[in-house]
Amino acid sequence: MNEIGLTHILVISTLLFFIGVYGFLTRRNMIIMLMAIELILNSVNINFVAFNKYIYSGKLDGLFFTLFITAIAAAEAAVAIAIIINLYRNYKSIDINDADSMKY
Amino acid sequence: MSASTIIFYILSAIIVGGGLLAVTARKIFRAAVFLLFSLIGIAGLYFYMNYEFLGAVQIVVYVGGIIVLIIFSILLTAESGSDMKKPALSRILFSALATIFACALTLWLIKQHTFHVNESTIIEPSVRNIGRQMLSTTEHGYILPFEVVSILLLAAMIGCIVIAIKIKPKT
């Protein structure tokens, strides 16, 4: 068994990214779709940190990108949950197919 | 097989298994708890790579903030005990096919590519170095994005209040 390197961590983040994409495509519940987006953002964060550690170890830029992505993800989750609560008040449902009043 | 390798495989099993169960669970509350496990596993992966500050941030922001927010919103909206609607079989089939092929392509590319290590110097990702570069106003400082992100968070906070506020009807 060889040493854990960059490739191992990239494989983990790839699997996590496509799990998030699968959840985003299949589920129609808005909160679950939000969770899938969080998984995708986290896999990107893992990639940034792994490249920073194993390739560009003389810089800290990947770490700062991860910090800012985390901050923006927090803001995005807060706004998304406010929108979901507002939609639930109007439609009594958080299924994305029920929010179709702009469709016709 | 060293202890470090075993710890890495345990962490990756927690991350991938938690994520997979989070997007396939039938009960929404369980999905939130599996997502919690996955995010804790990612924090463990940061600790494994010696990025202690980032692991702490991951735990504080995601586990302490976003998961709590998601659980609050589940309690406010969905019936957390009941099963969710099962997605249509064709949707599951085509989504799984698309993601499996894309995943296989990406994994193949990762396996083919050889990564070249560019630098020999190592900057320790300690809190001291992070803070100095984050607040420095020189060429490689991050003071401007830091301030912009603070304005973004303020705007998001006010926007949340405006969107989610309940306006009482007159009379």
Per-position DSSP letters for B71-117, written without gaps between them: HHHHHHSS-TTSPPPPPPHHHHHHHHHHHHHHHHHHHHHHHH--PPP
Strand partners, A95: A29
- The Cα A28–Cα A94 span in angstroms is 9
A21–B133 C-beta distance less than 8 A:
no
Q: Cβ of B155: how many Cβ atoms within 10 Å?
A: 12
Mean pLDDT by 10 residues, chain A (104 residues): 81 95 91 93 94 88 93 93 89 83 76
Nearest residue on chain A to B148, alpha-carbon basis = A68
Residues in chain A: 104
Q: What is the pLDDT of residue A82?
A: 92
Which residues 2-21 of A have a C-beta within 8 angstroms of B? 3-4, 6-12, 14-16, 18-21
Does any CB of chain A come closer than 8 Å to the CB of residue B39? yes
Q: What is the pLDDT of residue B44?
A: 95
Q: What Rg do the C-alpha atoms of chain A give, in angstroms?
A: 18
DSSP state of B138: S
pLDDT digit string (tens) for B38-69? 999 999 999 999 999 999 999 999 988 899 99
pLDDT digit string (tens) for A62-92? 999 999 999 999 999 999 999 999 888 888 8
Q: What single-letter amino acid sits at A25? A: L
B10: which residues sit within 8 A by CB, 6+ positions away?
none
Give the tokens for residue A30.
């808005």
- The Cα A81–Cα B36 span in angstroms is 17
**Among B6, B9, B31, B10, CA closest to B20:** B31
DSSP state of A93: -
DSSP state of B26: S
φ and ψ at B24, to 5 degrees? -115, -5
B59-82 mean pLDDT: 85
Give the tokens for residue B64.
């302490």
Q: What is the pLDDT of residue A2?
A: 64
Strand residues in B7-96 grouped as ranges (E)? none
pLDDT over 90 for what percent of chain B?
A: 58
- The Cα A76–Cα A79 span in angstroms is 5
**Among B13, B61, B64, CA closest to A72:** B61
Look-up of token digits 């985003």? A24
Q: Which of B66, B129, B142 sits opposite A38 (nearest CB)?
A: B66
**Among B44, B65, B67, CA closest to B56:** B44
DSSP 3-state of B47: helix
A73-77, B117-121, B158-162: least confidently modelled range: B117-121
A11–B110 C-beta distance less than 8 A:
yes
pTM for the complete prediction?
Answer: 0.91
Per the prediction, chain B carries an average pLDDT of 89
Domains of chain B: 1-84 (1.20.120.1200), 124-171 (no CATH)
Q: What is the pLDDT of residue A59?
A: 84
B127: which residues sit within 8 A by CB, 6+ positions away?
B53
Domains of chain A: 6-91 (1.10.287.3510)
ipTM score of complex: 0.91
Q: What is the pLDDT of residue B22?
A: 92
